[in-house]
Amino acid sequence: MQSSKVMTSKEAVSKFIQDGMTVFVGGFFHAISYGITHEIIRQGKKHLTICQSSFNEHADQLIGSGCVDRVISSYVGMEIFGYLSCWRRAMEKGIPHPIEVEDYSNFSMTARFLAGALGIPYIPVNSLKGTDMMTHSRWMGENKVKLMEDPFGSGASHALVPALKPEVGYFHAQRADREGNVQMWGILGDAPWSLRACEKVIVSVEEVVSREDIGKDPNRTILPAYKVVAVVEEPFGAHPKNTQGYYDVDRDFIYEYVRASKNPDTWKAFMDEWVYGVSDRVEYIEKYIRKFGYRRFAKLKARNMRSESVNYGY
């Protein structure tokens, strides 16, 4: 039996995320690891390049906190909730410092991870052609994307995008065993390819389960243990986002962040309260219940809509 990789988010972040690294930040609107994101901010990590197909408020908090120099993504926003203020302040006014972005489309980002996961140097996509994303690049220069005619003679040209292999990644999932076999369901986003593209992965989970439980439904495993360097058990770890089968999106809390972040002072007060004012997720939950009451907390809990189990017999 392999040794346990269970540790706290404090230990995982200080051990595996260093200043200047290229970090994959998991979660496509669903199951975003706020626990680890907040720990990165508390530990004051600097000069990170963050990548993800599409980012939400967690990227805004990392950017506003000065942790980020570079972003690789297709989207830094929040759909109908509004726009991200720290992102805009950084891009429009260089506050707290200017950041650089390499812009792709959602699919071409995922394709970059797919190439990384498969160990191929690049991948052709049908997207990007004809647009300003082909001609505008930052630090990647002409290696951001190239147009190439199909060498097999179809006559069509495709945008080639390079494999993306982050030095480390982190994400949130429903459950894992102590060795790091991770199971996830619901919206997967660019996972599992993005995770497999990473050199190593930190996972936070709602529950640590036994290896036997994983083995009862192995089709649901999205990442095998050999990629995983740390398993962090953090229930409610994606709040204010949702985790399928555990809790729903906390819309009121997200709107509160949107309001607070419009002004740098109220943004700082929000971060002081919810990030710097707690030492970990347990304190975060305690604070949440103290402030908003147990009823509001309990209301987020997912209703029971369990799947039928299938027969894996032979």
Partner 1 sequence: MNDMDFTLQELMVVASSREIKDGEKVIVGTGLPLLGAMLAQKTHAPDMVMIYESGTIEARPLIMPLSVADSRLIPGAAMQGGLIEGLGMVHAGDVDVGFLGGAQVDKYGNLNSHCIGDFDHPSVRFAGSGGANDIASGCKRTVIIMPHLKEKFVEKVDFLTTPGYLSGMDSREKLRFPGKGPAVLVSTLGIFRFHKVTKEMYLESYHPGVTVEKIKENTGWDLKVAGDVKETEHPTAEEIRIVRDLDPTGMFLKKK
User: Contact positions toward partner 1, by CB under 8 A?
Assistant: 28-30, 53-54, 73-80, 83-84, 87-88, 91-92, 101, 103-108, 110, 114, 125-133, 136, 155-157, 185-193, 242, 244, 248-249, 251, 302, 305
Q: What is the DSSP pairing of strand 157-162 with strand 146-149?
A: antiparallel
In angstroms, what CA-CA distances link 312 with 8, 124, 186, 209, 219?
A: 34, 37, 21, 19, 10
Length of the chain: 314
Residue 192: cis peptide before it, omega within 30 degrees of 0: yes
At closest approach, how far in Å is the CB of 105 from partner 1?
Answer: 4
Residue placing its CB nearer to partner 1 in the complex, 295 or 303: 303
Instruction: Tell me whether residue 220 or residue 296 sits nearer to partner 1 (CB atom).
Output: 220
Q: How far is the CB of 104 from partner 1 (least distance, A)?
A: 7
Kindly state the smallest distance separating residue 236's Cβ from partner 1, in Å.
15
- How far apart CA 204 and CA 173 sit, in angstroms, is 6
Q: Are 125 and 301 in contact (CB under 8 A)?
A: no
Whichever of 9 and 49 has its CB closer to partner 1, that residue is 49
Residue 284 CB, shortest distance to partner 1, in Å, is 21
Closer residue to partner 1, CB minimum distance, 144 or 178? 144
Token look-up 């649901």 returns 220
Q: 71, 12, 2: which is closest to 205 by C-alpha?
A: 12
Q: Give whichever of 155 and 313 is closer to partner 1, judged by the CB atom.
A: 155
Identify which of residues 101 and 278 has a Cβ nearer to partner 1 in the complex.
101
- Residue 266's CB is within 10 A of a number of other CB atoms, namely 13
Rounded to a whole number of angstroms, the minimum distance from the CB of residue 101 to partner 1 is 8
Minimum CB separation from partner 1 for residue 23, in Å?
19
Beta-bridge partner residues of 169: 24, 201
